[in-house]
Amino acid sequence: MNARIFPGKLAGRVEHVIASKSQTHRALICAALADKPTMLHGRALSRDIEATLRCLRALGAEIASKEDGFFIEPIRALQREKLLDCGESGSTLRFLLPLTAALGADCSFTGQGNLASRPLSPLYEEMQAHGVILSPQGRFPLSCRGRLRPGDYRIAGNISSQFISGLLLALPLLPGDSRIIVEGPLASRPYVELTRDMLRRFGIRIEEEFHIPGGQRFLSPGTLTLEGDWSAAACWLAAGALSEKGVFCEGLCRESIQGDRAIVALLQAFGAQTQWRQDGVLVRRGDLHGIDIDAADIPDLVPVLSVVAALARGETRIRQIGRLRYKESDRVQGILRLLHALAAEASTQDDTLIIQGCGRLPGGLVDGCQDHRIVMAAAVAATAAEAPVTLLGAEAADKSDPGFWDQFAALGGHWEEADDGI
């Protein structure tokens, strides 16, 4: 679907921010391994979550979608030698690859988009060194045979925190103790902390930094309520920073360990007005100016922060962006194409994105790169443009938020489907 988005600032209230996608992936996996059923409260049915649901059901879990969440009957009889379709979800693949190896499920993995080309090293080599036979990486199907052995796993910290999260989910099931030795700085640490927190809720002990006792059992808490998704809310709050009336998002935890809650402090640093209330946070326009941002722990915020930067005064530098090249698309190039298409001045230098804010965007034609974060950022940019923005591949927003375009309209955004022959 292509969308033609008309100028007009968003304003109003987002009453129900979708449940955290990151928490939902982890909670579904833990619940599928637990000793008894679990009720998860919080709706986050996106294409990525559907991929995890599909794979867990294939392994033997019974999962019922409810109006307000999911009811999970854990795996009783493990289904082996299944083909697990991960869609385009990197989380699903990187979490379930070591987990199925810990279970000895002898599964194969497939997926769509550029998932096959996204990095698996050094997780791939460490699994091989610990007893797993893997088919060549870089193409599907990816075959995983044998059972993972306990021991020391050395993982570079600057490629993907999902490698560490996947091992944290898998290693407690092994008969002996294991350690994850992170080499170099750990990027996206908040995502690892989300994994540790979810494991604690299901009775799993992680000692010291990453020492994992073996022989553990996942213990269901019975019911669990998921937080609102700060990554999804970031787009609405960024749109609020461009709007005089502003946008209010409810259902967000101010003390959340989700790294993307940094969006509020960053928008405030740009000069936006922010106000916390008992039931959420309001962001509205202020005198926006350029700032310096360290993106090591908040890679998913970079696309929409780049849009805010383009509409601020002066220069913004967003550092440590290298890992964005290995997402659903090369997001560094996607951001540059987005900004350049709307006549904003942006460039890269080493590991830094440099944006010269001009305070105005004339409109234009933007390729969403089949990447949900680029699509959402482009939609926010269009609200502050001087002429319509035509966005190619607007349906990619469904990857993380199927209700994105309905919410966009509910906040006063005006858009229509555009012809494919643009």
User: Is the pLDDT confidence value at 21 over 80?
Assistant: yes
Pick from 276, 381, 391, 315: nearest CA to 8: 381
Q: What is the mean pLDDT of residues 240-269?
A: 96
Q: What span, in angstroms and rounded, lies between the C-alpha atoms of 152 and 269?
A: 42
The domains spanning 2-17+227-418 and 21-213 adopt the same CATH topology = yes
Average pLDDT, the chain: 95
pLDDT digits over 350-379, tens only? 899 999 998 889 999 999 999 999 999 999
Q: Any idea what DSSP says for residue 422?
A: -
Looking at residue 420, its pLDDT comes to: 63
Bridge-based pairing of strands 273-277 and 38-41 is unpaired
Instruction: Using alpha carbons only, give the angle 219, 260, 191 rounded to the nearest 5 degrees.
Output: 40
Closest to 43 measured CA to CA, from 13, 72, 17, 61: 17
Active site annotation includes 48: no
Q: N- to C-terminal Cα distance for the chain?
A: 11
Do 341 and 310 contact (CB within 8 A), yes or no?
A: no
Summarize the confidence of residues 49-70 as an average pLDDT. 96
Taking the CA atoms of residue 291, residue 297, residue 299 and residue 303 in that order, the dihedral angle to the nearest 10 degrees is -30
Instruction: Give domain limits for the chain.
Output: 2-17+227-418, 21-213
* The pLDDT value given to residue 278: 83
User: Residue 16: is it exposed, middle or buried by C-beta count within 10 angstroms (0-12/13-18/19+)?
Assistant: middle
The catalytic position among 85, 260, 300, 371 is 300
| Superfamily grouping for domain 2-17+227-418 | Enolpyruvate transferase domain (3.65.10.10)
What does DSSP assign to residue 11? -
Q: Which residue did the predictor score with more confidence, 268 or 417? A: 268
Q: What's the pLDDT band for 422 if we cut at 50, 70, 90?
A: low
CATH superfamily of this structure's domain 21-213: Enolpyruvate transferase domain (3.65.10.10)
pTM above threshold 0.85 = yes
| 166-184 pLDDT, tens digit each | 999 999 999 999 999 999 9
The answer to whether residue 62 scores a pLDDT higher than 80 is: yes
* Residue among 11, 2, 3, 5 at smallest CA distance from 239: 11
